[in-house]
Amino acid sequence: MTQSTRRTSIRLPIQMKVKITSDSYCTQQVITKDFSDGGIFVEDAELAKLDVGSLVTVQADEGIDDAPVISARIAWTNKVGAGIEYLLD
């Protein structure tokens, strides 16, 4: 089963500044390449080095004062970035 056939949410090509933080990845501001109900994809070579399953937090970093911090995990990586899945209750 490919990544595209497992997808349940439509991806939108939204570019937005977000802060990504984890224990092994210092807080970085990155720009999303696409966005869906279930997560985001960001191009960042350092983020791509994290192990699948690594826990991170995501926070919008533009246009929103006091944006919520969302718990997430690295769902997949490739040479240029990582797919990040939200861990919502």
Q: What is the mean pLDDT of the chain?
A: 87
Q: How far is 85 from 41, CA to CA, in rounded Å?
A: 9
Residue 12 DSSP symbol:
B
Residue ranges for the chain with pLDDT beneath 70: 1-8
Fold of 3-86: Thrombin, subunit H (2.40.10)
Write the pLDDT tens digit of every residue in 52-76: 999 999 999 887 788 999 999 999 9
If one counts every other C-beta atom within 10 angstroms of the C-beta of residue 48, the result is: 16
3-state secondary structure of 6: helix
DSSP run (H or E) holding 73: strand 69-77
Q: Check residue 66 and give its pLDDT.
A: 87
The structural domains of the chain, with segments of one domain joined by +, span 3-86
**For the whole model, what pTM was predicted?**
0.83
Q: Check residue 23 and give its pLDDT.
A: 85
| Cβ atoms 36, 80 nearer than 8 A | no
